[in-house]
Amino acid sequence: MEALVRRQTDEEESLVALSKEILEFAASSDPDQTLMKHIAAAAAAAVQRSDEIGADRPINLLLAGYFGAGNVGSDMRANEIVRQISYLLGDDMVTYSALALTDRMPSDVLGAVKCLPVDDYVPKALSRAVFDHDGVIACEGSMFKSKFSNVLSAVMAGALGIASRSGKLSIGYGAEVAAMDNSLSSFVSEHASGALIMCRNEASRRAADAIGLRATPGADTAWTFDAAPKEKAAAMLRKLGWNGSDEIVTICPSNPFWWPVRANPVMALEMQKTGRHRELSYGSVFFHAESDEIAGKYNRYIQNLAFAMNELRRRMNAFPLLVGMERVDEVACRDLAERMDGDPVILMGYQHPVRDVVGLLRLSSVLISSRFHALVGAMPGCVRSIGIAIDERVQNLLGDADQSGRIVAPDDDALGDKIIEIALAMDADDVARASAKTVGDAVVSIGEMGIAFTDEIIKTCPDFPVPSRPRTWESHIPPLPHAISELLN
C-alpha cells in the first residue's frame, strides 16, 4: 500500500510539473527557447540504465528524426540506416521504433519500424521514448543547423543526450552540421557531446569538431537506396501523359525563403478559432516564416523557374514534370504550374511509394532541384542535374564533386536564364563520370560508417553478440542495388 501511494504521489507531481511546463511554453515570448529549456531539463534528469544488453534479447533502437512529414529524402535515408544496421547486427537481433508527426510509417519503406506518434508535450514524449529503448539513432540529414528548425535539431540533440547520459547507445547517423545560432550551438554542444556523430561530409565534420562533438567521417545513407525499375517508372509516366520518347525535364521546387519553422502557440490558437495562418501551418504549433520580403523573393523565384521550364520544354521538345519531394512543396508545385504554359503534370512524392518517386527522378533527361535528396536519388542514374542551393547541402554535394558549375542560387535575378544555359550546356559524359565518383566515394564511406557503428555497439553494449566480420568497408555494407553496382563497375 505504501508503495502504491508513493507511486500515485510521484505521478501527481509529474503531472503538475508537466502542466507548469505547458503553461510556460504557451505564454512564452520565445517558445522555441522554452521548448529547448524543457528538453534540457529532461536530459539532465536522465538516469543510468540498470539493465545490460546481452545475447538473450534484441536491442531496441529509437529512431529520432523527421518522420511523418511526407518527406521522400528523409524516408530514403532512414530506410537505408535501418537496412545497414539490420545487416550488421542481424534482422532478428534488432527492433526499431520512431517518433513521428503522424500515426503511420510509409508502408513501402520502414515497414518494420514501430510508429510512436508524438501525442504529448514534446519533452515528455521524448524522455519517455528514450527511457523505453536501448539506444538512439538520430536520422535526419539536416541534423544540427538553424536553417530549417531549431526545435528539430534540439529534439535530436536532446534524444542523443538523454541516451548517452543513461549509458545507452547514442549515434547521429550521416549528419549535416552547419550554421547554428548561438543558443542552438550551445545546446547541441552540451547535449550531443557524448554521442558519436558520423558526418556526411568534411565540412560537417569540421563544424562538429569546432563545437566539441565526437565526430567521425561518413556519408548520407540515401546513396544506396534502390529505385523502382525503369520499366515501372516509364509506365507510371505514360499514364501521366508522356509519349514514351520525348526527353523529360523534371523540377523539384520548394519555398526556399519561408524557413525556419518556429513554434507559435498564439498563432495555433488563432488558427483553431478563426482559420487564420493556415497557409503557414507546418503542423501542431509550428509555423513557417512570413514577410513582404519573403513573398517578393518567392514570387521572383517561381517566375524564374516557370520561364526556365517553358523555354526548356520548347527548345528540347520535352515533357515537363513537377515533383514535390515533401508534403509542404505542394504549394510551390501548384504555384509553378499556374505560371507555366499548358497543363504540366504534378506528382507529389508522399502520395506514391518512395521507390517509384526515385525511379521517376532517374528517368529524367534533366533534373532541376531545390531538394538535396532529389539530386542524391537521381545521381546513380547519371542524370544531368542542376542544384538550386537553398543552403550549404547542395554546395557541399556538387562542389565536392567538382561540379560547382551546376549550382545556382534561388534569389539570383538571372536564375531562369542560368538554368537554361546550364541545362543546354551540360555534357552527359562529364556528368556520368562525376556521378560515378561521387556515388563510389559515398558507398565506401557508408561501409566505413558501418565499422564505426559496430565499434560503438561493442563499446556501449559489450555483452551484445555483434557478428564477426572482416574489418573492411565492403563487409560492413548491405547488398547494393543492381544500379549502384553497375555504376561502380
Q: Quickly state the pLDDT bin for 52 (edges 50, 70, 90).
A: low
Cα-based torsion angle of the residue sequence 78, 378, 260, 265 in order, rounded to the nearest 10 degrees: -50
**How does residue 50 score in pLDDT terms, banded at 50, 70 and 90?**
low
Residue 15 — very low, low, confident or very high, per pLDDT cuts 50/70/90? very low
pLDDT at 4: 38
Question: What mean pLDDT is reported for the chain?
Answer: 91
* Cα within 13 Å of Cα(7), Cβ side: 4
Cis omega (within 30 of 0) for bond into 117: no
The DSSP string of 321-355 is: EEEESSGGGHHHHHHHHHHSSS--EEEEGGGS-HH
Per-residue pLDDT at 456: 97
For the residues 291-314, what does the mean pLDDT come to? 97
Angle at Cα 213 formed by Cα 59 and Cα 44, nearest 5°?
A: 65
- Rounded Cα distance between 199 and 174, Å, is 5
Query: Between residues 267 and 402, which one has the greater pLDDT?
Result: 267
pLDDT (average), residues 307-314: 97
Task: Give percent of the chain above pLDDT 70.
Answer: 95
Mean pLDDT, residues 22-33 taken together? 89
Looking at this protein, which amino acid is placed at residue 79? N
The 10s digit of each residue's pLDDT in 100-137 is 888 788 878 888 899 998 888 889 999 999 999 999 99
Nearest to 355 by CA among 115, 76, 113: 76
- DSSP label of 224: G
Q: Does 249 score more than 60 pLDDT? A: yes
What is the average per-residue pLDDT within 321-346?
96
CA dist., res. 379 & res. 76, Å (int):
14
User: How high is the pLDDT of residue 2?
Assistant: 47
pLDDT band at 10, cuts 50/70/90? very low
Does 62 have pLDDT greater than 70?
yes
